[in-house]
Amino acid sequence: MPRSWVDGLEARARASLPAPVHEYVAHGAGAGTSRDEAAAAWRDVRFLPHVLHDVTDVGLATEVLGTRLETPVGVAPTSLQRAVHPDGELAMARATAAAGGLMVVSSNAGSTFADIAATGVAWWLQVYLPSDRTLALPLLERAVAAGARAVVLTVDTPVVGSWEPAGDRVWDVVDPAFTRVNFDEGHDTQPGAEKALDLGPHDLDWLAERTGLPVVAKGVLRADDARRCVQAGAAAVWVSNHGGRQLDRAVAPARALPAIVRELADDDAEVYVDGGLGSGTDVLAALGLGADAAFLGRLPLWALVEGEHGVGRLQDRIRAELVEAMRLAGCRRVADARDVVGSPAPV
């Protein structure tokens, strides 16, 4: 499969999707600076490959929070998947399950947790917490009952970052049934349903107690915040700037990752990253900088235009590129990538 197929995914999606849907997926906050810098930051990473290493058999299997996966590349949570393709999360889940990967499901998903789980995919739930935390309990209970293996708390969104053109345009062409199907009817109109402005470390422990699941803090860019999350009970920290959709000019995840990995080097907490990853070589850079897993956000959505087949084709391509990059770097296993970065992206 030519790399040009991957490089052309967004253009094909733009030609196929209603303009407001494409804009919704593609947009970044403000001037789009953070969105645009993310991919370039991965390209700034340089490798120091090993030689004279037997790379006949290269394995991508890994384990995250106790779940064995066949690949360290997961699917990040994104909403409006059914606006991109009628099968939405189910197509994404089937392709991810076939790849042996992990899917993180948005709390705003347009498919039920039970239907997603029925595909056999390993999955986590992403959540925002409302001002009245008790309003989140029915959603959490449904996810636990359907077999979610972890809860991912988005910590970088006390308010939704503004962008132009106005985000409300998407609702002119999208069926409201394509989102938030796992919430109780009338949830959004209840007092206290708005996003919490007082989110704090105690919420990580609250989620763990209420669900009995490991909790991941997603949206961390600072080493001191990563430390606070782990001290508060987070099992993992997810380095992310929300795809550049929140605070514009927030640092690229590739540049924030090394300091967070160093800060947590003596802890049991895992570290993940997303933002601008577009190839298997980018994934090798993420692993080399210390990430335990890397997640793709927009790219699987562009591939979803072609349904399960498109997502599966993308995952096959990223896997093939990662295997080749690992061979050329002298790595046989995911853990071997930890010492092949010679020049990380400058902070």
Which residues, 6+ apart, have CB-to-CB distance to 317 below 8 Å? 1, 3, 5, 6, 280
| Ranges 25-29, 170-174, 280-284: which has the least confidence | 170-174
Residue appearing with tokens 């809860």? 151
List, for residues 303-324, the tens digit of each pLDDT value.
Answer: 999 999 999 999 999 999 999 9
* pLDDT > 90: percent of the chain: 93
**CA distance linking residue 122 with residue 119, whole number of Å:** 9
- Phi, psi values for residue 255, rounded to 5°: -85, -25
List, for residues 2-45, the tens digit of each pLDDT value.
Answer: 678 999 999 999 999 999 999 999 999 999 999 999 999 999 99
Question: How confident is the model at residue 172, as a pLDDT?
Answer: 87
Q: Are strands 122-127 and 102-105 parallel, antiparallel or unpaired?
A: parallel
Q: Which pair of structure tokens corresponds to residue 82?
A: 């059914």
Question: How confident is the model at residue 345, as a pLDDT?
Answer: 61
CA angle 294, 270, 272 (to 5 degrees): 20
Segment (H or E) for 28: none
**CA distance linking residue 244 with residue 265, whole number of Å:** 27
Clarify whether 309 is annotated catalytic.
no
List, for residues 72-121, the tens digit of each pLDDT value.
Answer: 999 999 999 999 999 999 999 999 999 999 999 999 999 999 999 999 99
Question: What b-and-e string marks burial along 49-70, b requiring 16 or more CB atoms within 10 Å of the CB?
Answer: eeeeeebeebebebebbeeebe
- pTM of the predicted model as reported, rounded to 2 decimal places: 0.96
Q: Among 108, 219, 200, 204, which residue's Cα sits nearest to residue 156? A: 219
* The pLDDT of residue 194 is above 60: yes
* DSSP 8-state class, residue 195: B
Q: Among 29, 24, 26, 28, which residue's Cα sits nearest to residue 9? A: 26
Dihedral angle computed from the Cα positions of residues 210, 63, 102 and 320, in that order, rounded to the nearest 10 degrees: 170
- The CA-atom distances, in angstroms, between 258 and each of 4, 238, 262, 300 are 30, 12, 6, 25
Q: Which of 53, 85, 242, 309 is catalytic?
A: 242
Q: Among 120, 37, 104, which residue's Cα sits nearest to residue 294? A: 104
Segment (H or E) for 213: none
Section 168-184 average pLDDT: 90
Q: Which pair of structure tokens corresponds to residue 246?
A: 């929140």
Question: How confident is the model at residue 346, as a pLDDT?
Answer: 58
Section 216-237 average pLDDT: 98
Section 314-342 average pLDDT: 97
**CA distance linking residue 85 with residue 322, whole number of Å:** 27
Which residues, 6+ apart, have CB-to-CB distance to 7 below 8 Å? none
List, for residues 146-166, the tens digit of each pLDDT value.
Answer: 999 999 999 999 998 887 655
- The CA-atom distances, in angstroms, between 184 and each of 142, 181, 188, 190, 245 are 10, 8, 9, 11, 27
Q: Mean pLDDT of all residues in the chain? A: 95
Segment (H or E) for 237: strand 236-239
What domains lie within the chain, and their CATH numbers?
Answer: 3-343 (3.20.20.70)
